Every structure is written in C-alpha cells, then in structure tokens.
Amino acid sequence: MEIFSTLETVQAFLLQFGVWTPLAFFVLQLLQIIIAPIPGGTVGLVGGAIFGTFWGFLLSMSGTLIGSALVFVLSKRFGRPFVEKFASPKIMDKYDNIKESKLNAVLFGIFLFPLFPDDILCFIAGLSPMKFKTFLIIVILGRSPSVFLNTMVGAGVMADNPTQFIVAIGLYAVFVLVLYLNRKRLDTFIHHSKKENKLSPDQPTNKSTNRSR
C-alpha cells in the first residue's frame, strides 16, 4: 500500500480528513489489528507526530484496545474456521493449545515483546477459555509500554526540541534491546506451556502395551 510507504504519506492521508483526523487515526489503528498490511508501528509514529505524546498515545491505545477486543469477540463467536483465515498453520501450531494455567503469562509476554505476532494472537486467544475482561487487562498492561514509546518517538520527530527526540529514541532502543535479549526465554516458556498431545484412538496406552507383553 503506497499510503503506508513513508511517515509523510501516512501523515498526509490522515490530515486530509481535517477535523475528523483524530477519528480517522483511531479507525486506522483499530483496522491495523485486523488487516495485516497496515503497519501499526508506522501509524503509531504518525499519531505521535500529529497529536503529541499524550493524545497520540490515548488515541493509539484506544484503537488498539477496541481492535483487539473486536477480534477476540469475533473469534469466540465464529471459532476456529474464522481464525484459520487469518493465522497460518505454522502460527496456529506454535501458539494454539497453550495450557490454561500459563495462558495469561504467555499472552502478556507476547504483547510486551514487539518482535512476536501479537495481532494474530488476539485471534488465537479467542479460541481459549480466557475471559473477555482478563483479555482486555492483558492487552492494556502488555501493549501500553510499546505503544507509549512508539508515540513518544513520533512526537519527538516533529518536535523542535532535539533533546526530546534523543530521549525518546534512547528509551525505545533500550526497551527493544532488553526485550530482544530475552526473546529466547519467552520462546522457551511458550514451548513448555503447550498442552501435551492427547493419544489418538488407535494409539495404544501404556497399560494395553504392558498387557500384551
């Protein structure tokens, strides 16, 4: 999509809505949860550039929260066939069937780490026993740090004060570096949080195997 090729093109697209620009930005943030080609990071940066850190974060987080909630509810309603239209078999195999006792921690970790497919996980979470209220709390706590820092960087790009930009970039870089260095730990935790595969009907159990000996 050419509209999302640069920060300038996204900004120009949003500003053409005039007084409706905040609403257009909110809708765009909501849609980027559902439509993969829309880059949420780029849109968030532009939000900071247009609205500043506070309002940019508020609009970004609101759109992200509503979009995540919508996906979760739709997945609950329409089930696995709906989710499989958006999630690849590889993603489904890796993140589906997480132990219920580990699900909250896994989802929070994935939302916190910007290097994981967090939008797709909103779909998969809808297939789990997780309650809607719990999901919303995890989205807010897990996604707020990266959304805030992304918005702060965007605001710093447009600020006349270079100190603000440098501080924003520095904080974001430290945040991403810390998460990146711990990515393997989260990956391992996710792997060990999977439920054990159930035996197929024709697969012998230990008891039946022992009896046959």
Could you tell me which residues come within 8 angstroms of residue 149 by beta carbon, excluding any fewer than 6 positions away?
168, 171, 172, 175
**The two three-digit tokens of residue 71, written as one number:** 């996906």
Phi and psi dihedrals of 122, rounded to 5?
-65, -35
**The two three-digit tokens of residue 192, written as one number:** 């060990």
CB 59 within 8 A of CB 51: yes
CB 156 within 8 A of CB 164: yes
**The two three-digit tokens of residue 145, written as one number:** 């740090």
Q: What is the pLDDT of residue 36?
A: 66
Give the pLDDT of the chain (213 residues) as one tens digit per residue.
Answer: 677 778 888 899 999 999 999 999 999 999 988 876 677 788 888 999 899 989 999 999 999 999 999 999 999 999 999 998 888 888 887 777 777 777 788 888 888 876 666 788 889 889 888 899 999 999 999 999 889 988 988 888 766 667 777 887 788 788 778 777 766 776 666 665 665 544 334 444 444 444 444
Q: What is the pLDDT of residue 87?
A: 84
Q: What is the pLDDT of residue 176?
A: 75
Q: What is the pLDDT of residue 197?
A: 44
State whether residue 194 is helix, strand or coil. Answer: strand
| Beta bridge partner(s), residue 109 | none
What is the distance of C-alpha 85 from the center of its chain? Answer: 17
Question: Global pTM?
Answer: 0.78
Q: What is the pLDDT of residue 196?
A: 52
**Pairwise CA distance, residues 196 & 22, whole Å:** 47
For the beta carbon of residue 183, count every other beta carbon within 10 angstroms.
13
Describe the chain by its helix, strand, coil percentages, rounded to 5: 75, 0, 20
**Pairwise CA distance, residues 17 & 86, whole Å:** 30
Q: 98-128 as b/e, with b when 16 or more CB fall inside 10 Å?
A: beeeebbebbbbbbbbbebbbbbbbbbbbbb
